[in-house]
Amino acid sequence: MRTPILLLAGMLTVASALAEDRLRLQPLPEIPPPPGVPDATLEPQVTITTRGEDRVEEYRIRGRLYAVKVTPPHGRSYYRWTSAVTGSWSVTTTSRPISWCPCG
């Protein structure tokens, strides 16, 4: 008869110690993103409007306009972009979008 009572007392002691440990747990700090993950503020904001019959796509990062794609109703699209160094605008009629980021 003594053995079951000692066993029950031991189990209650262990259970109360585990419950105490749970109360002392602290939440982990937030984990920073891994290297190489782009900053959300560097995602381009694209605004599509029409000017006359042309479709105009304006590309901005942090509110700064850095590229414009103009698609006329007839003919090829063309891009205008600004140089991050000089700030002057250039034009190209390439079929590929601009793949660089003026994140400076």
Question: What confidence score (pLDDT) does residue 35 get?
Answer: 80
Rg for the chain, CA atoms, rounded: 31
Question: What confidence score (pLDDT) does residue 83 get?
Answer: 72
In order of start, what are the domains of the chain with their CATH numbers? 40-92 (2.20.130.30)
Least Cα distance to 68 among 86, 48, 85, 87 occurs for 48
Question: What confidence score (pLDDT) does residue 57 get?
Answer: 93
CB-CB neighbours of 61 under 10 Å: 16
Question: What confidence score (pLDDT) does residue 97 get?
Answer: 55
Question: What confidence score (pLDDT) does residue 12 get?
Answer: 67
> Which residues of the chain are modeled with pLDDT < 50?
104
Residues 6+ apart with CB under 8 A from 48: 55, 56, 57, 58
The pTM of the full predicted model, rounded to 2 decimals, is 0.52
